[in-house]
Structure 1
Amino acid sequence: MQNNISVRIVVLLTLLSAGACKKFVTIEPAPSLIKTERIFTSDKTALSAASGVYIAMRVGPTLFYNAGMTLYGGLISDEIIPSNPNSDTRAFFEADLVANNTTVTGFYALLYQVIYRCNAALEGLEGSHSLTPGLKDQLIGEMKFVRALQYYYLVNLWDDVPLVTTSDYQVNATLARTPMTKIFEWMEVELKQSVSLLQPEYPSPGKVRPNRWAALMLLARLYQQEKKWDLLEDVTTNILRSGAYSLVPGSSLQNVFAKNSSETVWELASPNETQLVGDATIFVPVSPTVRPAYTLSPGLLNSFEPNDRRGQVGTWVGKNIVNAIEYVYPRKYGQRTLIVNTSPTEYKVVFRLAEAYLLRAEARANMVEILQAQADINKIRERAGLTESAADNKELLLAAIAEERRHEFFCEWGHRWIDLKRTGMSDIVLAPLKSKWQSYDVNFPVPEKELLYNPYLVQNPGF
């Protein structure tokens, strides 16, 4: 009974939220209450329930998936500086987080809310015997992929976390933290199933629902975390050889993040076709005479090679001069306003092809495939307007890849924060920059209220 009630609640919520966006499906949810047993007997209502999961990702608290991970990941690492820090941004910038920080609490809550929605949808989908088989497989593959993505961020921000795979609140309320290695093992199984269920083609117009290549991109990130270099090379080679994507030319670098870019593997749509990508509204000033709310750190700016297009004004960075002072800010997304009766020209890019090249380069460097790793790095350097890499051994290649990742993915999904933690470089890089930095700051604190709700949870060390 508990499971049925939980499923009914979450599916109703997803159906109601799905009515605000027709980008994922072309139907309206039923205007009245729909019984749970009917939700997954119709292809249309099953699609509507699944689409609500994506909408929840873009409209949840603190907007983790809209710009939150980029903003706060950039603040707590070494990418951006707040112009007028409030208590929240200062806490991240100074690495002075506490267990009742509202943004940390919001991130944790949203990721688990999406997991809960995925669990409920999977229970309904797997128990259905009346959906079109191909659609059923597709939706199960999508929900498994999305659920695994939440855990990718959870373990990278908190390390060990509860592994929640049911919609039963009574079970979930008493779960202890699962070791990160066990979550990785579970994710690998889930993502392999997702890859087998999803098709290479996108199931709807555009790239707003995941296909097989999106699932393989997340699987590649997992193999990187697990240091399974041979598997990482195989997966990324499959993506790169698919012919489904191509790097945007260096002469058009500002178009990398345009909707349906040739480089995009998966993107999150606006939930209602009026919401712009938060990276633009947060980072891009309203006029050339306004001081940006956030500027790129001197360390990041000075790390770009002189001819690197990625660090030049007009591509992925912007510049305002206010009172004779230059302010350089991130500008990967540029649509700051929306013309009436038009749709956004940008969606939030989650995975793109450049990452596959640098993931494969890292795998090849670790397997001492020097020439092959160089070739992958040079694909990205050439697009950036740079000469070929001079790195010619494993250690130099790994250092070169780390720099390319820093410049390719700055102010993008907290890649820098995750990379520093993953490679054990957080103390070395961040301790000199943040007076309050402690080694335990590589993890966020478990939200205080979660510890109160669940007596089986324990706090991360240091908090």
Structure 2
Amino acid sequence: MKLNKNYNYIKVFGLKACWKTTLFLRNILCFFVIIGMTACTDFVEVDAPKNTLISETIFEDAATVESALANIYYQMREQGMVSGNNGLSVLIAAYSDELDYFGFDGSNQELYSHTVTSANTVVLGWWRAAYKLIYAANDILKGLEGTTTLSLEHQEQFKGQALFVRAYLHSLLAAIYGDIPFISTTNYLENNTVARMAVNEVYENIITDLISSVSLMSDDDVTGEHVLPNQSVSKALLARMYLYTEQWALAESVASELINRHSLELDINKVFLKNSSETLWQFKTNGTTHYNTYEANQLVIRFIPGQSYALTNNLLQAFETGDLRYSKWTASKTSSDGLTTLQYANKYKAIFSETTSLEYSIIFRLTEQYLIRAEAKAHLGDVAGAQQDLNAIRNRAGLANTMATTTESLLDAILKERQVELFTEQGHRWIDLKRMHKASDVLSAIKPAWKDSNVLLPIPATELEVNPNLKPQNSGY
């Protein structure tokens, strides 16, 4: 990226940040060159700026702020933990008990076999990609504070989106790495020496960001395709955070707001289509180099040998007889010699070779809110209410009402329902096993190298070298 010679560089979490020396070292993020017209307009129908954007000019026009936010969503889709390419949906599914891995990538194999080291390139890539985008979101928040030309409505919508991004990425980092830095500034001196924060404090900051985000954003779907976060998306993450922090009444309340406003997709064949009625937020495909999802491209088996992933027996055995999710959301492939048959995740069925976009990558959907509310109600002693929410999901899958009648049996039933409903989606299964303290019980039996310390991934070694304040390293690495 070419910049004026008056700019110097500092590296912050793998991102080159810059400041103009003639402005008394003012912290101004040099926004990434927007990948191209197509990359941004996949998310927002505005013209992408053709030149490098800097904070002094970007906040004068709503379209350029939209482009900056669109670039964040583009980067989330393409790389890091959120991407369906090599993100949580695939690699953490292999780390837990959802996917077997047959590929030859060393870092991926480490994750699958639970032999991860602090030099693992996936672990480093996830960390750096998340903090790079958190930094970009913080720069948008900083720039919005000083704008004088944007309408109040635009300012609030943009601030709400940036707060959501910051909260969401921190929530994933905390789920994977445990205690992490919570970054809320663009001050490179602070960011280069920041220490890790206890995970409970991180969650408090996330919840604070989300409450502000909800208050700022409207609930309009301005694109008509649910490809931009709005108030409902922030509420969906807020309900999840209340669940993770065991604030049951608040989790129930926020989930109820979403359930009352949105509709469950009753046809199980349509849940993962781009126009599904229950989608809250999804990533639109680029429609140029590929027309459908990274998830299908990774998970649908075309040839044996040649496959990278297949569903584990552990997951397949969790489906009850007659479960439509087994027949509709999984499929099988047999090798040409007839000796090997493997089953694969078939939620997303359309692959890149299609010339029409049939499916977008879904990040938040309403079903999770039913399961959040069911779990919250179970903890609150509302057995009938928890059964009702659980049955709504089971009945759609062609199953009879749950037989669970006590709080303990309901919680077990909800965990199993989350397993067969949310498999290979954004790491839900792994996070559930962790937060319910069942990871060791489940994985020690099927992962020979399992250690109790594996509930957290290591802080990348190169980050510890750059900033010793991130020490101590997570136990076991």
Structure 1 window deviating more from structure 2 (360-369 vs 60-69): it is 60-69
Superposed, 1:283-302 pairs within 5 Å as 283-286=299-302, 292-302=307-317
Alignment match, 2:293: 277
Which whole-Å deviations, capped at 9, do the CAs of 1:308-345 have from their partners, x for residues lacking one? Answer: 11112xx11111111223211111111112445x4x22
For 1:331 and 1:450, locate their aligned partners in 2 and report how far apart those are by CA, in whole Å: 37
Alignment match, 2:461: 448
Which whole-Å deviations, capped at 9, do the CAs of 1:165-205 have from their partners, x for residues lacking one? Answer: 11222210100101111111111111000001111112333
Alignment match, 1:229: 248
Structure with higher RCO (Cα < 8 A, 6+ apart) = 1
Structure 1 window deviating more from structure 2 (55-64 vs 134-143): it is 55-64
- Residue 311, structure 1, aligned to residue 326, structure 2: yes
Q: What TM-score do the two structures reach when normalised by structure 1?
A: 0.93
For 1:10 and 1:339, locate their aligned partners in 2 and report how far apart those are by CA, in whole Å: 37
Conserved? CA contact 1:17–1:55, under 8 Å: no
Alignment match, 1:188: 207
For 1:134 and 1:366, locate their aligned partners in 2 and report how far apart those are by CA, in whole Å: 39
For 1:237 and 1:218, locate their aligned partners in 2 and report how far apart those are by CA, in whole Å: 13
Distance apart, 1:62 and its partner CA: 7.8
- What stretches of structure 1 of length at least 5 have no aligned partner? none
Counterpart residue type for residue 358 of structure 2: T
Distance apart, 1:135 and its partner CA: 1.2
Counterpart residue type for residue 150 of structure 2: L
Superposed, 1:44-193 pairs within 5 Å as 44-60=63-79, 64=83, 66-193=85-212
Structure 1 window deviating more from structure 2 (409-418 vs 79-88): it is 79-88
Distance apart, 1:49 and its partner CA: 1.5
For 1:184 and 1:61, locate their aligned partners in 2 and report how far apart those are by CA, in whole Å: 21
Distance apart, 1:416 and its partner CA: 0.7
Query: Secondary structure at the residue paired with 1:270?
Result: coil
When residues 361 and 28 of structure 1 are mapped into structure 2, their CA distance, relative to the original with a 3 A threshold, is: same
Conserved? CA contact 1:15–1:29, under 8 Å: yes
Counterpart residue type for residue 113 of structure 1: K
Counterpart residue type for residue 124 of structure 1: G
When residues 34 and 222 of structure 1 are mapped into structure 2, their CA distance, relative to the original with a 3 A threshold, is: closer
Conserved? CA contact 2:167–2:206, under 8 Å: yes
For 1:444 and 1:387, locate their aligned partners in 2 and report how far apart those are by CA, in whole Å: 39
Q: Of the candidates 450, 460, 463, which is equivalent to residue 474 of structure 2?
A: 460
Greater fraction helix: 1
Q: Of the candidates 360, 363, 373, which is equivalent to residue 386 of structure 2?
A: 373
Conserved? CA contact 1:245–1:264, under 8 Å: no
When residues 286 and 187 of structure 1 are mapped into structure 2, their CA distance, relative to the original with a 3 A threshold, is: same
Conserved? CA contact 1:310–1:317, under 8 Å: yes
Query: Secondary structure at the residue paired with 1:307?
Result: coil
Counterpart residue type for residue 336 of structure 1: I
Counterpart residue type for residue 142 of structure 1: Q
Q: Of the candidates 305, 321, 335, which is equivalent to residue 350 of structure 2?
A: 335
- Residue 254, structure 1, aligned to residue 254, structure 2: no
Alignment match, 2:362: 349
Which whole-Å deviations, capped at 9, do the CAs of 1:272-292 have from their partners, x for residues lacking one? Answer: 6533321111111235x6663
Query: Secondary structure at the residue paired with 2:362?
Result: strand
For 2:319 and 2:136, locate their aligned partners in 1 and report how far apart those are by CA, in whole Å: 42
Query: Secondary structure at the residue paired with 1:327?
Result: strand
- Residue 405, structure 1, aligned to residue 424, structure 2: no
For 2:54 and 2:308, locate their aligned partners in 1 and report how far apart those are by CA, in whole Å: 47
Query: Secondary structure at the residue paired with 1:78?
Result: coil
Conserved? CA contact 2:18–2:30, under 8 Å: no
Conserved? CA contact 2:181–2:194, under 8 Å: yes
Query: Secondary structure at the residue paired with 1:381?
Result: helix
Distance apart, 1:213 and its partner CA: 0.8
When residues 231 and 3 of structure 1 are mapped into structure 2, their CA distance, relative to the original with a 3 A threshold, is: farther
For 2:266 and 2:284, locate their aligned partners in 1 and report how far apart those are by CA, in whole Å: 20
Q: What TM-score do the two structures reach when normalised by structure 2?
A: 0.90
Q: Of the candidates 333, 338, 344, which is equivalent to residue 320 of structure 1?
A: 333
Alignment match, 1:425: 438
Conserved? CA contact 2:394–2:400, under 8 Å: yes
Conserved? CA contact 2:40–2:48, under 8 Å: no
Which whole-Å deviations, capped at 9, do the CAs of 1:126-146 have from their partners, x for residues lacking one? Answer: 221210111110010011011
Query: Secondary structure at the residue paired with 2:41?
Result: coil
Which whole-Å deviations, capped at 9, do the CAs of 1:375-432 have from their partners, x for residues lacking one? Answer: 0000000001001001001000000000000000111111110000000001111111
Counterpart residue type for residue 208 of structure 1: V
Alignment match, 2:10: none
Alignment match, 2:263: 245
Which whole-Å deviations, capped at 9, do the CAs of 1:37-78 have from their partners, x for residues lacking one? Answer: 221011111211221111111223587454521111111111
Distance apart, 1:248 and its partner CA: 3.3
When residues 14 and 63 of structure 1 are mapped into structure 2, their CA distance, relative to the original with a 3 A threshold, is: farther
For 2:429 and 2:19, locate their aligned partners in 1 and report how far apart those are by CA, in whole Å: 42
Alignment match, 2:4: none
Conserved? CA contact 1:175–1:457, under 8 Å: yes
Conserved? CA contact 1:18–1:49, under 8 Å: no
Distance apart, 1:294 and its partner CA: 1.3
Counterpart residue type for residue 22 of structure 1: T
- Residue 26, structure 1, aligned to residue 45, structure 2: yes
For 1:30 and 1:293, locate their aligned partners in 2 and report how far apart those are by CA, in whole Å: 38
For 1:188 and 1:301, locate their aligned partners in 2 and report how far apart those are by CA, in whole Å: 35
- Residue 391, structure 1, aligned to residue 404, structure 2: yes
After the TM superposition, which parts of structure 1 deviate over 6 Å for at least 4 consecutive aligned residues?
none
Conserved? CA contact 1:270–1:277, under 8 Å: yes
Conserved? CA contact 2:309–2:344, under 8 Å: yes
Which whole-Å deviations, capped at 9, do the CAs of 1:146-179 have from their partners, x for residues lacking one? Answer: 1100011101000000111112222101001011
When residues 305 and 186 of structure 1 are mapped into structure 2, their CA distance, relative to the original with a 3 A threshold, is: same
For 2:362 and 2:260, locate their aligned partners in 1 and report how far apart those are by CA, in whole Å: 21
For 2:286 and 2:182, locate their aligned partners in 1 and report how far apart those are by CA, in whole Å: 28
For 1:42 and 1:14, locate their aligned partners in 2 and report how far apart those are by CA, in whole Å: 17
- What stretches of structure 2 of length at least 5 have no aligned partner? 1-6, 8-16, 21-25
For 1:113 and 1:294, locate their aligned partners in 2 and report how far apart those are by CA, in whole Å: 29
Which whole-Å deviations, capped at 9, do the CAs of 1:227-277 have from their partners, x for residues lacking one? Answer: 0000011001110111x332232xxx2321111311101112225653332
